Chains A and B, each alone.
Chain A
Amino acid sequence: MIKIALITCIVFAPLGAQEIKLPPNLDRLAAKATEVVDVTMDANLLQLASRFLSDKDPDDAHVKKIVGGLKGIYVRSFEFEKPGEYQESDIDSVRTQLHTPAWSRIVGVRSLKSGENSEVYLKTENGKIGGLAILVTEPKQLTIVSIEGTIDPDQLNELGGHFGIPKVDTRKETGHGKDQ
């Protein structure tokens, strides 16, 4: 099962700057949520942040290299007190954007036991990777991550745990072949 550390974030930056346009109704969900978290890192902030990653620490150095190809990281997460506070229709417009030819779903994991549904989408432009999106729905939690720029899906494992991005082990999950 994909383990997602909960991030609750609200982004102040103009949503138009993001690759995935977050629907306005997500703001309405904030009123029902017990915790909302938004992390916004545009290219300037990423550049600034990467200066604080150590070149000596192998993990940090690797992350620094990955960040060099990114244009932005946006995380928005909602945590609710009880199930049923949000509907699938609330994120329909996000899914619609991800179901266009530019995007391909590369990982999908659904757990009947916990009700968790995790999906990773990859955007390709002219044969090059242009972005990555993670959508995680749980009965009491909703997380949307948008990563803009050049990133290999395998690099997501290294990037997880930095900049508020949840840890997503795509290699492990795809390796088990739960859902492709």
Chain B
Amino acid sequence: MNVELPARPKPESTINRPVIADCDIHPCLARPADILPYLPKRWQEHAMTYGMLPRHGYQSGPAYPKGQPDAARLDSWPPDGRPGSDLSFMQAQHLDANRVELGIMTVIAPAAGAAQNLDYSAALARALNEWQVAEWTSKDTRLKASIVVPYEDAAAAAVEIDHWAGHDAFVQVLLLSRTAEPLGQRRYWPIYEAAQRAGLPIGVHAFGYGGYPVTAGGWPSYYIEEMVGHSQCCQALLTSMVIEGVFERFPGTRMVLIEAGLAWLPSLCWRLDKHWSRLRDETPHLRRAPSNYIRDHVWLTTQPMEEPEKRKHFHDIVEWIGIDRLLFATDYPHWDFDDPLWAVPVKLDDGARQALFLDNAKALYGRR
């Protein structure tokens, strides 16, 4: 629902805004054809003739119509092109206005890793990575990129990670959450091996389309169900990562769950620990309780931040997860953008604020 707010007397000053890291910014192609110059001719033709062939029913657009066009803030449309496609507009509206010192870009559309033709998936991932350098990180050093990979073909994904390893522009590997199989399964292990080799965190952003129903009980009817369901989906993929032993096998893995909320994590940890303890003869490859692996290997971005009915309960969540594992994110330019001034429902102490809004991200994404 869009509501016209009365004009504010004057623009909010940026003076009182703290410097932040934003760990989920979505740059976007102004037009789909803008990626063509970055693709080899063979794949340019494929893109124009056959396209993505996503594992859902529409050639373009999402399976569930969004709440508003492009799922974007209505004020985020630049004069020409789509929200998130114009660097100078993004700088003025977001990077400068919100004092973003470090912006982690996550390109989720087109969802290159979800293309059914795996060769096209690899070509499109490479093209998007080159586009990120050419159009974004080389023009604004505050912005850092995530390596888009053809994750359903882990060998090709590892090649893509190796290709960019050590490049200043790239600070993480990016997967989408709804994969063809649970992300802990061994078909994906070459990705974790390559990321570990490159010293890069693995970011897993909500969305994608693996082909299975987006709930374990079948296809729901509504976009709101899809959106709320990203939390359950990420719980499932994290469960797979832990129980399959990914963190045991690749101890250098640092995993960031992006745009799936955070408050669900403590309960999942308790449930995992309890039932792993009862059934542990099934998973002898695990040497520690699931929550221990999660505490050591998993970070979460905050947007969309849960809003407790009683605000004070947010402190419980932060205490249970650990402030050092939370990364502030806005999700610019999307409609459910979290404003850094207003998003956190409680007053955190200065140290916690500094960690959440800046230091955790710099530590995680800084060069090692």
User: Are chains A and B native binding partners rather than an unrelated pairing?
Assistant: no
Name B's A-contacting residues (CB within 8 A): none
